[in-house]
């Protein structure tokens, strides 16, 4: 736990939250400033800054829980779809440096824009170069 972390304070109960689910690894809460009704956060109870610090066992438990919570939220708010978003680092939009996964229920015309691309096209050669770089990392 980090004393200056808002999510650690929520986990400890120092800050109230609207808890959807809780187990030994995670707390799932409604986002205090939701993009849409039903927007929730899955937060590990231990403090990990981002996905790069997340232990393998926590990572393995995350997506089964995300699927269950996304399904429940989708049904509860009658959503047509769901964005599952997780940001790592300031340039990626991370603003709270305690790993968390956003579940954002979606409906047609809700005005949310998460799928914008900075690049309109990539050549096959550029894709091949990136692939080789990734494959070289072990």
Cα distance between residue 113 and residue 44, in whole Å: 26
Coil, helix or strand at residue 90 = helix
Structural tokens at position 106: 């979606």
> Contact at 8 Å (CB) between 105 and 79?
yes
The one catalytic residue among 39, 98, 100, 102:
100
Structural tokens at position 10: 């929520």
> Is 100 part of the annotated catalytic residue set?
yes
DSSP secondary structure, 42-83, as one string: EEESS--SSTTT--HHHHHHHHHHHHHHHHHHHHHTT-SEEE
* Cα–Cα separations (whole angstroms), residue 53 to 56, 77, 98: 9, 33, 10
**Residues with catalytic function:** 100
């Amino acid at each position: 736990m980090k004393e200056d972390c808002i999510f650690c304070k929520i986990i400890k109960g120092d800050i109230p939250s609207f808890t959807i689910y809780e187990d030994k690894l995670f707390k799932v809460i409604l986002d205090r400033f939701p993009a849409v009704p039903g927007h929730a956060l899955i937060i590990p109870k231990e403090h990990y800054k981002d996905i790069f610090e997340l232990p393998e066992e926590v990572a393995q438990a995350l997506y089964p829980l995300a699927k269950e919570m996304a399904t429940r939220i989708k049904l509860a708010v009658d959503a047509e779809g769901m964005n599952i978003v997780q940001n790592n680092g300031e340039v990626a939009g991370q603003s709270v440096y305690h790993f968390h996964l956003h579940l954002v229920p979606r409906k047609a015309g809700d005005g949310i824009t998460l799928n914008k691309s900075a690049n309109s096209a990539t050549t096959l050669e550029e894709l091949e170069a990136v692939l080789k770089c990734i494959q070289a990392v072990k």
